[in-house]
Structure 1
């Protein structure tokens, strides 16, 4: 009578281990290939000299030119207006788009929903800086181009999160209101809107917080705000002014982050 030895336990079968190692090898090969493509035109002398250049620029930034700060108040106000008005415009457009994109509220899943989803994807695929470049070329430089760029970028962000919130509403509440004989408008007003209202305000405030950061650089392409001053200071190599602008942007972003957190805490 032959004795059967117990089989040694293994986390993966030999074939699975071979496939796993093959996958890792392919990943490393892909990384090396991508690295060669990205670095083939790199001038490595500039890369090795980068720390010295960074120290040199950092030295020119000190001390900051605090006397330049009063000249930044109007561009800062413009930046806040770009972010706020752009957010409001984007939210207004995103609301109907979100209801058309949600499966449980769209009038047509075969026609209107794909159109709404296409609008959301298009808005989210193009960065606000690219929107600003296009709008500056179309309507000229200024605050209007910045506001529209922020609005067009906000539609996709707000629309996507909002339509997902609409689809996640409790169907039992909607069924209860429908059972009372309520019409579509009443179901929407009393069954869906109260459920998504906290998410709506939270999404809107969060997007406003993001838009303040994005609107601060739109002036680099002529859309007004602090970015316009930044571009002018960089053009004349006024690094002591650049550091003041950067610190002001940092302080504004930190303050907007605090305001956004407090508002979301109060809502949720």
Structure 2
């Protein structure tokens, strides 16, 4: 008598059953955390003001139009200050970020155990604190004005430039470094002839990208007394001069668009 055995049919699954359960538990935890965070954030919210927000926004928008074009003659100098703050802050950050990046990269640092952690600490500290917070601290230390804004932009930019640059240094072609070192070149000559040419295009792109970001950040540093066009914005907001506010916002928008266009064109030419 013939015995018929039915072949076992295996159904393909993307994940195993434990992995699927773990995924669902993760989604459930995410939902719980989201609901808890929403309740925490809206615990003291006055919903009557939220419901009235569209009418308030429409009222302020009507007051902001048309912009007060005659106020433009008083914005040229603050706008120039803003550009100077962004540019000088970026250049100052560059002077500190480049050696910091070489100290942080594994293939160029003098000591992986001692010097590299210190360089990484500088980079992380710079990136962890927002430019507005740097501005607040510096205004309290050295007083209001453009100098505080320049140092705030610089301190914020060191971590950005340093991190991207040291990652670019670690990704260079080691063969070129070995070839130059084989000629008997010193450590400084190896860096000059084998490493710098490889990372120079990346550095140019990083600096231009950061300068573009700093243009945007420097426009609001005036809100904490660090100079620039943000100071004019704060003054107009304090007196509820909405036509002036709309003009300042328009100037900031045009400035940011132009800086982004210039940055993109220069990066395309250099890289």
TM-score, with structure 2 as normaliser: 0.97
1:3 is matched with: 5
1:38 is matched with: 41
Counterparts of 1:64-213 in structure 2 under 5 Å?
64-213=67-216
Counterpart Cα distance in 2 of 1:212 and 1:199:
20
Counterpart Cα distance in 2 of 1:126 and 1:251:
27
- Give me the CA root mean square deviation: 1.0
Counterpart Cα distance in 2 of 1:112 and 1:227:
39
Following superposition, the deviation at residue 181 of structure 1 comes to 1.1
Give the length in aligned residue pairs: 268
2:230 is matched with: 227
**Secondary structure of the equivalent of 2:110?**
coil
**Secondary structure of the equivalent of 1:15?**
helix
Following superposition, the deviation at residue 26 of structure 1 comes to 1.5
> Which piece of structure 1 moves more, 16-25 or 252-261?
16-25
Unaligned regions of 5+ residues in structure 1, if any?
none
1:241 is matched with: 244
**Secondary structure of the equivalent of 1:95?**
helix
Counterpart Cα distance in 1 of 2:267 and 2:188:
28
Unaligned regions of 5+ residues in structure 2, if any?
none
Following superposition, the deviation at residue 3 of structure 1 comes to 2.5
Following superposition, the deviation at residue 102 of structure 1 comes to 0.5
**Secondary structure of the equivalent of 1:163?**
helix
Following superposition, the deviation at residue 2 of structure 1 comes to 4.9
> Which piece of structure 1 moves more, 131-140 or 5-14?
5-14
The Cα offsets for residues 101-129 of structure 1, whole Å up to 9 and x where unpaired, read as 00111101111110000000000000000
The Cα offsets for residues 43-84 of structure 1, whole Å up to 9 and x where unpaired, read as 111111111100000000011100001100000000000000
